[in-house]
């Protein structure tokens, strides 16, 4: 029986690439999405991967969604916490709502999904959680105190939960992508994007499939000795 994998924010960009990589790996993938039903429907038609809509920042909605997926497809053994938003602005112009919404979804979503799926993984003696952080959670970024704080929090969350899951066969890891060639990055003004690429030693943006391949490895049986780790995939832009 194929292991069931949930990918939050799994119908576009990095999330879409992850969903496809896990499907190719033989997983029963279910992709979460937040609001665009038309694109979600097109994604399912193109890939055959079912989609379920809920707000990962909503605790009760996340618990209910994971329970529903488990009832329909089987126990959830793999969770990829990829969903995230930006509400950029310098601190003195940032509203509390902009701060709170990014924290609620980007970091709170990791807690909500882990809370829903981790107990079952622990009981069954096998599980894989991969949280998608960011280079900006490691190095910081001007105008992103909310996003950088949430993504940095993901790395600490990963290390702590990894210690809880280790003896139960549940690994918890993170990936910190650099600048990846997605719609979000494509929206950056060209002059700004040129400056960003100039700071990347390999001289280009990353590809979504390069993140997806790492997720496929971390969720495999072969990665059972890897836990509490953050894999930086950024073209050498930030090293430490």
CA angle 95, 96, 99 (to 5 degrees): 95
Residues whose CB is less than 8 angstroms from the CB of residue 3 and which lie 6 or more positions away in sequence, other chains included: 27, 28, 77, 78
φ, ψ (nearest 5 deg) of residue 206: -80, 165
Catalytic residue status for 73: no
110: CB partners within 8 A, 6+ apart: 81, 131, 154, 157
Catalytic residue, chosen from 33, 73, 96, 147, is: 147
Which of the residues are catalytic? 147
């Amino acid at each position: 029986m194929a292991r069931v994998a949930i990918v939050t924010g799994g119908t576009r960009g990095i999330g879409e690439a992850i969903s496809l990589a896990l499907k190719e790996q033989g997983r029963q993938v279910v992709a979460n999405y937040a609001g665009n039903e038309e694109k979600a429907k097109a994604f399912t038609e193109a890939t055959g991967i079912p989609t379920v809509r809920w707000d990962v920042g909503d605790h009760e909605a996340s618990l209910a969604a994971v329970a529903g997926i488990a009832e329909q497809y089987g126990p959830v053994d793999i969770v990829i916490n990829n969903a995230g938003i930006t509400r950029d602005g310098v601190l003195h112009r940032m509203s509390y709502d902009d701060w709170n919404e990014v924290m609620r979804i980007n970091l709170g979503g990791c807690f909500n999904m882990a809370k829903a799926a981790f107990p079952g993984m622990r009981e069954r003696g096998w599980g894989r959680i991969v949280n998608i952080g960011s280079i900006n959670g490691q190095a910081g970024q001007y105008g992103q105190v909310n996003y950088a704080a949430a993504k940095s929090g993901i790395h600490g969350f990963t290390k702590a939960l990894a210690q809880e899951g280790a003896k139960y066969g549940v690994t918890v890891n993170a990936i910190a992508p650099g600048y990846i060639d997605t719609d979000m990055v494509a929206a950056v003004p060209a002059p700004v994007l040129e400056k960003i690429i100039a700071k990347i030693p390999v001289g280009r943006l990353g590809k979504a499939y390069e993140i997806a391949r790492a997720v496929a490895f971390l969720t495999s049986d072969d990665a059972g000795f890897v836990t509490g780790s953050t894999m930086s995939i950024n073209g050498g832009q930030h090293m430490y």
